Amino acid sequence: MHPSCLSTMRAGDMDGLHALLEEDRTRFYGMTVKGNSILHIAASLGHVWPITEACNNFEWDLLQHQNLKGDTILHCVARAGHDHILSLLIDHQEVRQMTKMQNRRGDSALHEAARGGDVKAVRQLLAVGENMASRVNGDGESPLYLAAVRGSVETVEMLLGCALVNYRGPRGQTALHAAVCRSYASKDDVDVIKEILHHCPDATELTDGDGNNFLHVAAKKRATKVVKLVLSNPLLRQNINETDHEGNTPLHLAAMDNNIDIIRLLLSDSRVDKNVINRKGLTPFDVVSSIDDSKFLLRKIRMIRRLHYTGSKLGPHRRDIVMGKDQQRPEEELKQYITLANNLAIVAVLIATVTFAAAFTLPGGYNSDDNNQGQGVAILAKKVAFKVFLISNTIAMASSISVTCLLIFSGTRDRDIRWCIVFVAMAYMWVALGGMLVEFSTGIYVVVVSQCRWLADFICGIAFCIPFIVCLSLRYIKLILNRIDDRLVRN
């Protein structure tokens, strides 16, 4: 193609282009290195004059020319969305025949218009021949599938009105699968799905190459509104417990994806079978319980709790695996117990050391008056707070020493004895920690109260309130999570 023609076309200078063609008419037939004619460029950029000139002069060979990608000017117009040029072209019978032409990708002009969601272009092309809606391109994509991917409700509705519409997409997917994926990408917009189900109720029976129906895809893609749509429609109940080629229900797939929102929705419906066993012998409860990722520990606990409350159980295969693991890994279990015992022993020794030292460095000190019969006696011995200090210190030291003694036997191979020892040791450890807390509070209180009562009370309040607040916070967090679960299910 002559460089001046290409430049004027790109600049939109039709007067300049007209002048160049009057100088040399052969420039009208020039091609770019990719096989694009002057009409391809005009169609892509929305310039009407070159196309009108070709139609008026019956340049049918030029009008039907395909570039190296196999695109005709109809492909370019439909892709660019220039409806005014499309209406001009299809007024000519010779150009109408071009609507059936496909490029190297297998796309017709209708595929391009549907991919772009151009309602006007789709309407004009369907007016030429509705049978184009039944064709698929080289990737196995029908115009309806492409419109569903685009999320254009009007385009989908228009294509569904054709008698020979094709629902198929690549890899065995359907337009309904594409609509679900589009729903996930566009914040759960389900309008396209409703339109497909309205015009073709049996589309719910279509599955992809893996046997997934549209509810399976919704569970994978976390499309909560799609799941709600299915659960709220009695006509779609057969999809709720349908299995794919691996025997997985939508609940299985939601569990595999750690998707607690979808699990909540499905478990809130009594029609959902919570104990379906897939081809691997796993129930949804088995799938969740096998999650090893520590990042999802809290979510795993919440999912297990909700599955348990709604009647989901471990399958027999999973129970055998769990029992087998317990029998096959005694050495690993023993190492874990020893590690826990060592940690408890370190804490116990530290508490014993601190409490032992506190017994001989009493708050307030000792009486050092040589003339007093009470020489060497604690100065604050008659104070109630001091007596509480001594008692709590003794309890803390005795408990920590007891923990140390118990943990000597934690290496036994008897599993029941290990459990008992660790349980009792942890109970004594909490007693020791509580004793240290009381000891610290009363020790500070007894030496400060005479000079600043409010400070002494404030310190004791902090020491006793913070552990209490922590315990309440844990219970409050659990309560919040439960309420969030219930609210999300209701919504």
pLDDT tens digit string along 408-441?
Answer: 877 666 777 777 888 888 899 989 988 888 888 8
Q: Which helix (H) or strand (E) holds 434?
A: helix 415-448
Question: Cα separations (Å) of 40 from 61, 68, 70, 241?
Answer: 13, 12, 11, 52
**Is this structure's pTM higher than 0.75?**
no
Which tokens belong to 75? Answer: 């492909």
Band the pLDDT of 366: cuts 50, 70, 90: low
Question: Left, alpha or beta for 244 (phi > 0: left; psi -120 to 50: alpha)?
Answer: beta
Phi, psi of 363 (to 5 degrees): -65, 135
Task: Look up residue 275 and give its DSSP letter.
Answer: T
Nearest Cα residue to 433 out of 348, 339, 359, 341: 348
Taking residues 455-468, report their average pLDDT: 84
Which tokens belong to 301? Answer: 């606990």
For residue 378, the cross-strand partners are 366
Residue 489: the pLDDT is 46
Task: Look up residue 412 and give its DSSP letter.
Answer: -
Q: What angle do CA 373, 377, 380 make, to 5 degrees?
A: 120
321, 283 contact by CB (below 8 A): no
345, 404 contact by CB (below 8 A): yes
Lowest average pLDDT, out of 175-179, 239-243, 269-273, goes to: 175-179
Which domains can be identified in the chain, with CATH numbers?
Answer: 1-104 (1.25.40.20), 331-490 (no CATH)
Residue 186: the pLDDT is 46
Which tokens belong to 444? Answer: 């500070």
**Residue 70: pLDDT above 60?**
yes
**Residue 1: pLDDT above 60?**
yes
**Residue 468: pLDDT above 50?**
yes
144, 133 contact by CB (below 8 A): yes
Q: What does the alpha-carbon distance between residue 367 and residue 375 come to, in Å, rounded to a whole number?
A: 5
Residue 370: the pLDDT is 59
Residue 222: the pLDDT is 82
**Residue 329: pLDDT above 80?**
no
Quick: pLDDT tens for 30-69.
Answer: 898 888 898 999 888 888 888 888 888 888 888 889 999 9
Average pLDDT score over the chain? 80
Taking residues 111-115, report their average pLDDT: 90
Residue 72: the pLDDT is 92
